[in-house]
Structure 1
Amino acid sequence: MNDPIDWLVFDLGGVVVDVQAADVTIGELARRTRTSPALLGEALRERFTTEPFSIAERFQIGALDEAVFHDALNQTLVDPLESEILTGELEAMLLGERPAMVALMKDLAKYHHIACFSNTNAVHWRYMQQNFRFFEVLERAFASQEIGFAKPDARGFAHVAHALGARPGACMLIDDRQINVDGAIAAGWQALRFENIDRLTADLAAHGVVATA
């Protein structure tokens, strides 16, 4: 039998925040730099399944800061990018927060602890903190580049549970990537695959998690 759920831990991109398809960003960077989309796709992959990690993956776990990430990426490009252009392209990936999801989180927060655990990077994290209001709902917020681990690494889930002062089984991840859901479950968490808000509401209710009394 599953533990009672103390913490609902939300992924951000694809769940709370609309994100531009990676192919669109890669295509635009390829056009600007006259670089093969395939080469850029390899440099910017974000799966955390194969080592050595890509440039983007190392950026997401804080192994590269913004300046070093920019320099490392430029070494793969035919025409280098100015840092302001790269930052702008990264920020353009974040299309906005989903009002219905933020409203659901606010309702859930009346009865449950709410946190986030996001595979992100310093540019995206800063932009979200400056422009999105869902942070007001969160009791705790965990970013991969700040804790040094990204989903589905079990060490990331262990870090978050410990920081929350919760048993792993009392934490539930809500994520749109099956690999992260599987990683959470392997780490002893409960987890739900996010497809849409209606399905999420039904799945939460099936686990005894409701947004209203």
Structure 2
Amino acid sequence: MTTHLNIQAIVFDLGGVLIQLGGHLIKNEWRTTESNHDIVGDSWLLSKTAQDFEKGLITPLDFAEKIIAELSLNITPTLFIEHFAQWPIGPYPAIFNTLSQLRHHFTLGIFSNTNAIHWPRLLNEMSLTGKVDYYFASHLIHLAKPNPKAFKFVANSMGLEPNTILFLDDNPYNIDSARQIGFIAHQVIGFDSTLRCLHRLGVL
């Protein structure tokens, strides 16, 4: 298989790409008659409260209180935070072997819309520390996908032209934004899809 010669770096999203996520964030028993939707997928990405939290602009308690109010949920902020903390389940099987193989040939990075609750678990409990060369956590850089400025920040921080960076994410909004900046961006859903993409491009 021919390698995509222009690729110098590979940047991965976490949730739904390297890390498996749980199901719905909102339990049915929390809902009231006023509750009418969940915060997942595109709704999560476009929610101002979620974006503010993932840009590090509000505290975990502020986040929980606002989500509970927005969705009219019957749950305390403390219990919501405890449940929310467990949303990332863990790494997909074999990701660390794959990252190790890729790291021999490419600069690797992670760019995740994440937060002060999940990030410590991802690095420590899920052993992501030291597995790639660059870590871009939205709540630490105060920029979140799909804002094009976030992708410009990533490319500039890595010292690379966008068209030399392969970016893999499960959300089409993020893929479109990355492509606007010049990234080689592909949507993947789960780690099997990620592996197929890497093989198709000849980087693995």
Identity of aligned pairs, percent? 25
Length-normalised TM-score, structure 2: 0.85
SS at structure 2 position matched to 1:12: coil
Instruction: Report the more deviating stretch, 66-75 or 198-207.
Output: 198-207
148, 165, 173: which is aligned to 1:154?
Answer: 148
What pairs up with 1:1-213 in 2 under 5 angstroms?
Answer: 4-21=6-23, 24-26=24-26, 28=27, 30-32=28-30, 34=32, 36-39=34-37, 41=39, 45-48=43-46, 53-76=47-70, 77=72, 79-83=74-78, 85-210=79-204
- Runs of 4+ in structure 1 displaced over 2 angstroms? 32-37, 39-42, 70-80, 195-208
How many residue pairs are counted as aligned between the two chains? 199
Structure 2 regions of 5+ residues with no counterpart? none
User: Which one has more relative contact order, counting CA pairs under 8 Å at least 6 apart?
Assistant: 2
Structure 1 regions of 5+ residues with no counterpart? none
SS at structure 2 position matched to 1:62: coil
Return the alpha-carbon distance in structure 2 between the equivalents of residues 187 and 75 of structure 1: 36
Please tell me whether the aligned partners of residues 25 and 38 of structure 2 are also in contact (alpha carbons under 8 angstroms).
no
Offset at 1:101? 2.1
Return the alpha-carbon distance in structure 2 between the equivalents of residues 196 and 78 of structure 1: 30
Return closer, same or farther for 1:205/1:40 CA change in 2, 3 Å cut-off. Answer: closer
Please tell me whether the aligned partners of residues 45 and 56 of structure 1 are also in contact (alpha carbons under 8 angstroms).
no
Return the alpha-carbon distance in structure 1 between the equivalents of residues 190 and 43 of structure 2: 25
Return the alpha-carbon distance in structure 2 between the equivalents of residues 159 and 103 of structure 1: 28
Offset at 1:67? 2.7
Length-normalised TM-score, structure 1: 0.81
Offset at 1:79? 3.7
Return the alpha-carbon distance in structure 2 between the equivalents of residues 166 and 89 of structure 1: 38
Q: Quick one: which amino acid aligns to residue 181 of structure 1? A: I
Offset at 1:188? 0.7
Please tell me whether the aligned partners of residues 138 and 144 of structure 2 are also in contact (alpha carbons under 8 angstroms).
yes
